[in-house]
Amino acid sequence: MIVLAALPIVLSLVLWRCAPALAARCTPSWAARALVLLCLAAALTTGIVLCTVAWLAFAEIPAAGRFGHWSADALADQVPVPAVVGASAAAVAALSVIAAGVHLVRTLRRMAAAARACRALGSGVDGLIIVDDERAGAYALPGWPGRIVVSRALLRVLDADERRAVLAHEAAHLRHRHFVYLQLAQLAAVANPLLRPAAAQVCRAVELWADDDAATVVGDRQAVARALAKAALAHPPVTAPEPALAVARSDLACRVRNLLEPPPRRTGRAVALMVAVTIACTGSGLAVSTYAHARLEHAESRYSIELR
């Protein structure tokens, strides 16, 4: 049972090391989907295991047993949880839940701001808004429907195919609702910091996915790479803040390589592995909580026997 309880944490550690390798073996769309599910499963089950351990330690306090009408001794016999372990688990779980809660509230506020901005921008032409700004840039703003905002400064440096590439890339983000993937991955990483590399890989995979879609639309991978290069070079240099989801190798280099020299991929196996790990995580979380529940029920029945 200890093995099962430790499994989600061990798997999170493994993911910390292996996320980049796993993501590299898949086509970006599958990397994004499989990793997001895995991150969510790992974060949730780690939380469940920590809460269960903390709860058991609490339940083994005799006073708690008297108050809740269960035999704390019987529980301590069957599932001994040292007080230190219980307290640490409680602390970590509390921090995790608070951090996730704060992050969620912030995210919802930002989404509300995005929705307001969408309304203020108007519907544009099929969601496309051209802005007159010296900053050359383009972005997708999620909404119902979303908007694509592109500055004239960027459009001027691109040729016709490259313009098409940028529009197709942003349209792909909206069509596939990539912001959902990003937000879920980030939430998981906030709840369980071991998942940060995996969440960063989700970010990267989502960009590669949109690049691939753009390449299909334009029919020319080089054009997308050129658009990327020109957009990056026209972008005013920004000192990148220390992001929570930094990746070791530059995203741009990765995107260019994906477009011009796509590496060989074995998506099937990598996805199967990730799905297996997701199921293992979920299974262990369920097993641990079911076991704890069963022990508690046993302790309750022992309590009523002891009373008589």
Footprint on residues 258-297 left by another protein (CB under 8 A): 260
Using the contact rule CB under 8 A, the part of the chain among 10-18, 73-81, 140-148, 277-285 near another protein is: 140-148
Sequence-distant (≥ 6) Cβ neighbours of residue 199 within 8 angstroms: 39, 185, 186, 188, 189, 245
State the Cα–Cα distance between residues 289 and 8, nearest whole angstrom: 13
Judged by CB, which is closer to another protein: 11, or 228?
228
Compute the distance between CA of residue 100 and CA of residue 55 in angstroms, rounded to an integer: 20
Handedness of CA 242, 112, 209, 13 (dihedral sign): positive
List, in sequence order, every beta strand (DSSP E) within the chain: 128-131, 138-141, 147-151
Do residues 195 and 277 lie in contact, with contact meaning Cβ atoms separated by under 8 Å?
A: no
Question: CA-based angle 257:177:33, to the nearest 5?
Answer: 60
Among 35, 38, 185, 292, binds another protein (CB under 8 A): 185
110 binds another protein (CB under 8 A): yes
Question: Is 254 an interacting residue with respect to another protein (CB under 8 A)?
Answer: no
Considering the complex, what minimum distance in angstroms separates the CB of residue 49 from another protein?
26
Q: Which is nearer to another protein, 33 or 178 (CB)?
A: 178
Among 27, 46, 96, 183, indicate the residue that binds another protein (CB under 8 A): 183
Q: Does 14 bind another protein (CB under 8 A)?
A: no
Closest approach, Cβ 104 to another protein, in A, equals 13
Residue 303 found at the interface with another protein (CB under 8 A): no
> Nearest distance from residue 29's CB to another protein, in Å?
15
Is residue 195 near another protein by the rule CB under 8 A?
no
Q: CB nearer to another protein: give 103 or 265.
A: 103
SS3 236: coil
18 vs 22: CA distance, rounded Å: 6
Q: Do the Cβ atoms of 54 and 83 come closer than 8 Å?
A: no
Which residue of 43, 48, 49, 166 would you call a contact of another protein, by CB under 8 A?
166
Under rule CB under 8 A, residue 60 binds another protein = no
- Give the side-chain half-sphere CA count within 13 A for 290: 7
- Going by C-alpha positions, the residue among 38, 99, 11, 10 that lies closest to residue 270 is 38
Q: Of 199, 270, 277, 288, which lies in the binding site for another protein, with binding defined by CB under 8 A?
A: 199
Of the two residues 78 and 222, which places its CB atom closer to another protein in the complex? 222
* Residue 133 contacts another protein per CB under 8 A: yes
**How many residues at the interface with another protein, by CB under 8 A?**
84
Stretch that binds another protein, among 1-9, 86-94, 122-130, 267-275 (CB under 8 A): 122-130
